[in-house]
Chains A and B, each alone.
Chain A
Amino acid sequence: DAKTTQPPSMDCAEGRAANLPCNHSTISGNEYVYWYRQIHSQGPQYIIHGLKNNETNEMASLIITEDRKSSTLILPHATLRDTAVYYCIVRVANRDDKIIFGKGTRLHILP
């Protein structure tokens, strides 16, 4: 699976949009971009994933650049409960499903 690069930490004001970047310049054509988050003392939680089109669900939006070498996770109206570590992962779907987690971005939502 391709490697990803994320900033180690970010701050965002409560109520504002949080934009979390991820670089995956070596992504292959059949690899998806997945985002998870881990709130303190809990297991990671799936947020969203995409291949090349932008995606939106009830939690977030995922913007993937046209060359697919980077993406941005957008939390439209961040709340204090969104404080967590956010992981960006690229992987081939329907393979052995192993996920290798990087260090992620620690997002602090400021009141």
Chain B
Amino acid sequence: SQTIHQWPATLVQPVGSPLSLECTVEGTSNPNLYWYRQAAGRGLQLLFYSVGIGQISSEVPQNLSASRPQDRQFILSSKKLLLSDSGFYLCACKGRLNNEQFFGPGTRLTVL
């Protein structure tokens, strides 16, 4: 079965510091991968998606970037964090049974 690992689970970073969030997927090959963000009290916002190694599409202009160095690895990065980058970051992949999206446990980022 599919499993998505995200780390760290929680993170507190100062403004201006760099960021690297990692997502790895097990139980599937060549998956479509997605990064979402959920700011406090708000809905899910799609940030990036990737259909293959090195292929990244950005959905919204922002302070973040994404990379996919391996088939089942998706990384979210920033060179300098802003206060507005705080939120709950979720990695997702396409499900195997119902064409649904399957979500990881998320990383809660607080920028101070």
Residues of A in contact with B (beta carbons under 8 Å apart):
34, 36, 38, 41-46, 49, 93-94, 96-104
Contacts of A96 in B (CB 8 A): 32, 49, 51
Give Cα A97 to B49, complex, Å: 9
A97 touches B32 (CB 8 A): yes
* Residue numbers in B under 8 Å from A94 (CB-CB): 99
- Cα–Cα, bound, A93→B36 (Å): 20
B7 in contact (CB, < 8 A): no
Bound form: Cα–Cα A17–B104 in Å: 29
CB <8 Å contact, A100 and B46: yes
Q: Is the interface of A mostly helix, strand, loop or mixed?
A: loop
Q: Which residues of B contact A (CB under 8 A)?
A: 32, 34, 36, 43-46, 49, 51, 59, 88, 90, 92, 94-95, 98-106, 108
How many A-B contacts are there with CB distance less than 8 Å?
54
| 11 A-B contacts (beta carbon < 8 Å) | A34-B100, A41-B88, A43-B90, A44-B44, A49-B98, A94-B99, A97-B32, A97-B101, A98-B34, A99-B34, A101-B44
- For A38, the chain B residues whose CB sits under 8 A away are 44
Task: Check if B103 sits within 8 Å of A43, measured CB to CB.
Answer: yes
Do A46 and B98 touch across chains, with their CB atoms under 8 A apart? yes
The reply to whether B99 and A42 contact each other, CB–CB distance below 8 Å, is no
Alpha-carbon gap, A36 to B49, bound state (A): 19
Q: How far is the CA of A104 from the CA of B38 in the complex (A)?
A: 13
Closest residue on chain B to residue A49 by CB atoms: B98
Alpha-carbon separation in the docked complex, A43 to B34 (Å):
13
Q: Which residues of the partner chain A approach B49 to less than 8 Å between Cβ atoms?
A: 96-98
Contact A102 to B103, CB < 8 A, known contacts A46-B95, A96-B51: no
Judge whether A46 and B101 touch: CB under 8 Å. Answer: yes
Please indicate the chain A residues that have their CB under 8 angstroms from the CB of B94 in the complex.
Answer: 97
